[in-house]
Amino acid sequence: MILSIESSCDDSSIAITQIKSLKVVFHKKISQEIDHSKYGGVVPELAARLHAKALPQILQQTQDFFPYLKAIAVTTEPGLSVSLIEGVTMAKALSIALKLPILSVNHLKGHIYSLFIEKKAMFPLGVLLVSGGHTQVLQVSSHDNISILASTLDDSFGESFDKVAKMLGLTYPGGPIIEEYAKQGDDKAYDFTIPLQSSNKIAFSYSGLKNQVRLCIKEQNNTLSEKMKSDICASFQRVATAHLMQKLKKIFKIYKFSNFAVVGGASANLYLREQLNKLCPDLLVAPLQYCSDNAVMIGRASIEDFKDKNFCNLEDITINPKIKIFT
Ligand code: KG4
Ligand code: ZN
């Protein structure tokens, strides 16, 4: 079995996965959403302090599995440095205490493997990754051969939901609450412009759309009824998604994918899934509980590295908070 740890942002999570059967035998996640909600976004130092408390609490529940462990997997990149360090420190301590090798896992690769929980992986694959930190289209040829075909020039898809929610006085994270409000709203009530429409550039941008929403709220003198909030959420969600669809259509003309998937925290958005399904009827998605950050996807990704004996030297294990460009 592999014990995997995820602490790249604001979720403390540990999982244990059987190597041969891919079966998940333990999973626990303590989310810090409520703690960060009053600040409208993740406060790194607070996140680190909460990881330091939550990770040992979860680890204590895994002790019966220790004799069966063959490796410790941990997210080392990308993410908040102070948060990543908490998981990596625990992985190092376990590695020394239990005399086990460490597997270093890229968080974005983890999201890709959320498609293959308790399942055999299937490549090649085109992937739309929509999370709080990233908006990318990836060509995944194999476990070790991933290239970025498009990414965002500024804010990410999920981040734009978080920022719009903050402007509307809604809770953090913004994605789920905006999706809820949007269900009651008229998505044509506000005619926001789809970003980069007239540009041939294969890239995404969300800062302009965020600004359109900001100006729209300002025009109402910052006093918004619940109906107006719902209409703004519905209109914003429609345009934010339409932008993804327009650029994906361009990408699909250039690259022919035999399979296409959507992953990342924002892939839980059902409106987005519905629109993507129109474009790719055979769209692959992860189970809803594994869309947002979790250690199960990290454990699943690490199994491929375990098979290749792709272990890390304890002295060499480092965190890389910045966006990792796949090669
Ligand atoms: O993958 P994730 O859990 O963390 C990162 O790796 O960033 O993604 C979190 C992001 C947040 O920005 C959150 O607002 C967004 O995913 N999100 C959503 C939805 N659920 C979560 N965005 C839109 N609609 C949702 N239903
Ligand atoms: Zn993530």
Q: Which residue out of 12, 37, 269 has the highest number of ligand 1 atoms within 8 Å of its CB and is therefore the one to mutate?
A: 269
Of the pLDDT bands very low, low, confident and very high (cuts 50, 70, 90), residue 327 is very low
Of the pLDDT bands very low, low, confident and very high (cuts 50, 70, 90), residue 326 is very low
Of the pLDDT bands very low, low, confident and very high (cuts 50, 70, 90), residue 223 is confident
Ligand 1 pocket, residues with Cβ under 6 angstroms? 9, 131-133, 158-159, 161-162, 173-176, 179, 264-266, 268-269, 292-293
Of the pLDDT bands very low, low, confident and very high (cuts 50, 70, 90), residue 28 is very high
The tens digit of pLDDT for each residue in 227-268 reads: 999 999 999 999 999 999 999 999 999 999 999 999 999 999
pLDDT at residue 91, rounded to an integer = 98
Q: What is the mean pLDDT of residues 102-119?
A: 97
Residue 222 has pLDDT above 80, yes or no: no
Q: Measuring from atom 24 of ligand 1, which residue has the nearest CA? A: 175
Of the pLDDT bands very low, low, confident and very high (cuts 50, 70, 90), residue 23 is very high
pLDDT at residue 325, rounded to an integer = 42
**CA 285 / ligand 2 centre spacing (Å):** 15
The tens digit of pLDDT for each residue in 186-213 reads: 999 999 999 999 999 999 999 999 999 9
The tens digit of pLDDT for each residue in 296-323 reads: 999 999 999 999 999 998 888 889 888 5
The three-state (H, E, C) secondary structure of the chain, written as one string: CEEEEECCCCEEEEEEECCCCCCEEEEEEEECHHHHHCCCCCCHHHHHHHHHHHHHHHHHCCHHHHHHCCEEEEEEECCCHHHHHHHHHHHHHHHHHHCCCEEEEEHHHHHHHHHHCCCCCCCCEEEEEECCCCEEEEEEEECCEEEEEEEECCCCHHHHHHHHHHHCCCCCCHHHHHHHHHHHCCCCCCCCCCCCCCCCCCCECCHHHHHHHHHHHHHCCCCCCHHHHHHHHHHHHHHHHHHHHHHHHHHHHHCCCCCEEEECHHHHCHHHHHHHHHHCCCCEECCHHHCCCCHHHHHHHHHHHHHCCCCECCCCCCCCCCCCCCC
pLDDT at residue 208, rounded to an integer = 97
Entry pTM: 0.96
Atom of ligand 1 nearest to the CA of 111: 1
pLDDT at residue 322, rounded to an integer = 81
pLDDT at residue 324, rounded to an integer = 47
**CA 8 / ligand 1 centre spacing (Å):** 14
Of the pLDDT bands very low, low, confident and very high (cuts 50, 70, 90), residue 18 is very high
Atom of ligand 1 nearest to the CA of 79: 6
- CB under 8 Å to 111, separation ≥6 — which residues? 129, 131, 263, 264, 286, 297
